[in-house]
Structure 1
Amino acid sequence: MNKTSDKSEIPPTKPDLATEPCCKVGIATLGCKVNRYESAALEEELQKKNFSVVPFNSIADVYIINTCTVTAFSDFQSRQLIRRAHRMNPQAKIIVTGCYAQIAPRDVAMLDGVSMVIGNSLKHQIIELMQNNADASPCVLSGDLFRQKEFCNMPLASFGDRTRAFLKIQDGCNSFCSYCIVPFARGHSRSMASEDVLSAVNKLEREGYKEIVLTGIHMGLYGHDLQPATDISRILQKMCELNLDTRIRLSSIEPNEITADLLNIIKDGELLCPHLHIPLQSGDDKILQLMKRDYDTIFFRDLIEKVHSTISDIAIGVDVMVGFP
């Protein structure tokens, strides 16, 4: 944290964002790749609208905090960032969004300095909402995620000077594991239209990115909600047919959603990185049952053997939780 900020830089009053579009905005992000993607898309859109995006630990007119709620510690970190922003500039507008804002909007609104609480369902409208809100009292706009049926696209054209790009193609989760609050924070699974995915991948490849990471909350459900329905293997096969001069990497995918088709696409083509991140969560069958995970340790062991026998040089990452229940 920067403790040497010049207090003389603090503006005397809260900014009027409807008349001061060039004001300074600081963004802080907690949590997953999807959150980081959405913050980057928001930053890009702010710059297009002539806002000046500055480091979060500097004096800004507006602070946007994109929160996480996957653990109690991430809730604590979210509150810390809100308090830090208020200390840095008590006159700033503080806008809190993301999963903690979605799950506990009233609690967030009670924190000192918070101007707006915007849930995940309205995250893509943050700029419009903050420009239209002149009310001094905290405004809470959390929305009902379970009524949201359409994928909300937040396009992102550039990742600075990085060679790796991220593309969010799916949001939400239908699994409701007993330890996980994410379905309540993100809603049901929703997928980007296949043609939009292919168009976005083509665009990123033309811009020179050598690796594109496909991200989502529950990647294995990609396409199940579309009409006509599709799946992750079929969209990857369509990408292979584009003859792209880049690599595609999958983010985490559930054990029971790794199919023979998916493994063969990774094995036979040069497009997909030989890498899978597979959440195990526990190596004990009783714990897996209590977690409401729909596989057991024998299934997971057999899966890993199948993956290795199909793709001998594949890299596999796993998630393992401790302390449950």
Structure 2
Amino acid sequence: MAERKSNIIIEESEAIRQKNIIKALREEFDKAYEKTGKKKLFFIQTYGCQMNARDSEKLKGILEEIGYVETDQEEKADFIIYNTCTVRENANQKVYGRVGHLKSLKKKKNNLMIALCGCMMQEDTVIDTIKKSYNHVDIIFGTHNIYKLAELIKAKLETKDMIIDIWEAHKEIVEDLPSIRKHKFKASVNIMYGCNNFCSYCIVPYVRGRERSRAPEDILSEIKALVADGVVEIMLLGQNVNSYGQTLDQSFTFANLLEALEDIEGLERIRFMTSHPKDLSDDLIKVMGQSKKICNQLHLPLQSGSTKILNEMNRKYTKEDYLELVKKIKAARPDIALTTDIIVGFPGETKEDFEETLEVVKAVEYINAYTFIYSKRTGTPAAKIKEQLPESVVKERFNQLIDTLQPFVERHSQEKVGKTYKVLIEEVNQQEKELVSGRLSSNHLVHLKGDKSLIGKIIDVKITSAMTFYLRGEQV
């Protein structure tokens, strides 16, 4: 435990140092505001997964503490930051295009500051490209040092140089820094960082680093504070939440964490993602079966129904393992709504391999699925496999997969018509202002008549009809 105490001291001192930098910048910004009467504006564009979205909340928190005000109009901003994703190579090209466009904007606004961060910045080739072709960028940092944004801004203001701060690995987890939530009634909480799985098609472990679990006391303290501030639903985030706790000095598993959350008064709903099938334990299934707060929706990525392809993907489970796991989950939680990820056209995938994927889809009967055409990702083992499939074959299989999934998606929605469910109202509907929109525990989207006074409340809603991608209902 002595080592843990030492880490706490490191983390607390770093947090204090960053807060002091934020405070000093705020004083400078306040003085500038007194002279000009204008607040500096920031614009943030987030690409990629919910981990990136959570990182952007932290970035927003730091910027607002410094004195910036958010704008949704990029051309009006004094500080522009892109939080990037690199799962697919076309994501990189999209960012390059946006950054190139900013060059003309920067010529018009001498004091415009441009920052790039996130997964894409962890690639050496990307940094080389930016230095060579996009030298109008001011600050570059990666996934491991989000909390240093204020320090990087300070360094830029003082030196006028391009600031590049990329770490190959995490050094410490810094707690208790500002964060701006999108919603007052729900929040995402990182419980761990990094990934140890090295799926052969995935770049994430190379850019997010090795797995590191946050201390349970820090997580519980953060969630209790969020609940005290009005949060009723928590989303626990990690590249593989099921392996939470493996890097801790103490014996504390993901199942233990969920049990501890069950006792927090005022917390109504618990969600989590992503769950890797190879680490989903019987203890976790038992906790899910007994919980009154864990939502009845589980995202359990399949990727392929072929054991041969799963082995090529380095997924470390078989088709039979996956189906047995689903059987256990449904036995413990009969109302479970399963969603998944499926990749079509992985190198070497045969017609028979693909048909095995369809067999799993039919056996599990997912309520929804995120389906992807395999995208060759430079830097991953799968990119070196010679048996890349013809595009025409992959597209045909992809369409066949959608046709197989769709009847199950529609049936699960139709089965809810006439029944009453608890719905967390999240927003006024963007298309029809007399409606509000919310989510069932199963994560089905539902629209109903109501106004903004319902936002953040969990109410009883009777489902009256089911469309392809949403439900309609009425408050009861």
1:138 aligns with 2:162: yes
Q: 1:240 and 1:292 mapped to 2: Cα distance? A: 34
Confirm or deny that 1:126 pairs with 2:149.
Answer: yes
Partner of 1:97: 117
Separation in 1, partners of 2:301, 2:73? 32
The change in CA–CA distance for 1:176 and 1:136 in structure 2 (over 3 A counts) is same
Residues 107-160 of structure 1: per-residue CA shift (max 9 Å, x gap): 233343211211222221012111222444433211221xx3533447555524
Report the 3-state secondary structure (helix = DSSP H, G, I; strand = E; otherwise coil) of the residue aligned with 2:300.
Answer: strand
Equivalents in 2 of 1:163, 1:263: separation in Å? Answer: 27
Distance in 1 between the 2:193 and 2:297 partners? 22
In the TM superposition, residue 18 of structure 1 has moved relative to its aligned partner by 9.6
Alpha-carbon distance, 1:262 to partner: 1.2
Q: Which amino acid aligns with 1:229?
A: S
| In structure 2, distance between residues paired with 1:109 and 1:62 | 19
8 A Cα contact 1:149 1:190, kept in partner: no
1:44 maps to 2:64:
no
Cα deviation code 1:136-185 (max 9, x no counterpart) = 4433211221xx35334475555244532111111100111111111110
RMSD over aligned Cα atoms = 2.2
> Does residue 306 in structure 1 map to residue 322 in structure 2?
no
- Give TM-score, length-normalised by structure 2: 0.61
Note the residue ranges of structure 2 that are not aligned, 5 or more in a row.
1-24, 31-38, 348-476
Contact 1:27 1:56 in 2 (8 A): no
After alignment, is 202-211 or 101-110 more displaced? 101-110
Provide the C-alpha distance between the structure 2 equivalents of 1:151 and 1:296, rounded to a whole number of angstroms: 35
CA distance in 2, matches of 1:131, 1:179: 38
Give, in angstroms, the shift of residue 17 of structure 1.
10
Q: Quick one: structure 1 residues 155 and 211, their matched pair in 2 at CA, closer, same or farther if it must change by over 3 Å? A: farther
- 1:152-301 alignment runs, 5 A limit: 152-153=174-175, 155=177, 158-301=180-323
CA distance in 2, matches of 1:203, 1:106: 42
What's the counterpart of residue 69 of structure 1?
86
4+ long deviations beyond 6 Å: none
Q: Percent identity?
A: 29
Question: Residue in 2 aligned with 1:5?
Answer: none
Q: Residue 235 of structure 2: SS of its match in structure 1?
A: strand
On the 8 A contact 1:178/1:290 being kept in 2, the answer is: yes
Counterparts in 2 of 1:155 and 1:137: CA distance versus 1, 3 Å: closer
Q: Whose Rg is larger? A: 2
Q: How far apart, in 2, do the equivalents of 1:120 and 1:252 lie? A: 18
Q: For residues 87 and 20 of structure 1, do their structure 2 counterparts lie closer, same or farther at Cα, with a shift above 3 Å needed?
A: farther
User: Which letter does structure 2 place at the counterpart of 1:234?
Assistant: N
Query: Residue 324 of structure 1 aligns with which residue?
Result: 346
Structure 1 residue matching 2:144: 3-state secondary structure: helix
CA distance in 2, matches of 1:151, 1:189: 12
Higher RCO (CA < 8 A, seq sep 6+): 1
Contact 1:254 1:279 in 2 (8 A): yes
Instruction: Quote how far apart the aligned CAs of 1:89 are.
Output: 3.4
Residues 217-276 of structure 1: per-residue CA shift (max 9 Å, x gap): 221221111111321111111111334432110112000221221122121121111111
Q: Which residue of 1 aligns with 2:359?
A: none
Q: Is the 8 A contact 2:122 2:142 kept in 1?
A: yes
What one-letter code is carried by the residue in structure 2 that aligns with 1:60? A
Q: Which residue of 1 aligns with 2:436?
A: none
Secondary structure of the corresponding residue to residue 83 of structure 1? helix
The answer for the alignment partner of 2:462 in structure 1 is: none
SS in 1 for 2:294: coil
CA distance in 1, matches of 2:133, 2:190: 31
What CA distance in whole angstroms lies between the structure 2 residues aligned with 1:248 and 1:306? 20
Q: Which has the higher helix share?
A: 2
How many Å separate the matches in 2 of 1:23 and 1:109? 26
Q: How many pairs does the alignment contain?
A: 308
Larger CA deviation: 264-273 vs 84-93: 84-93
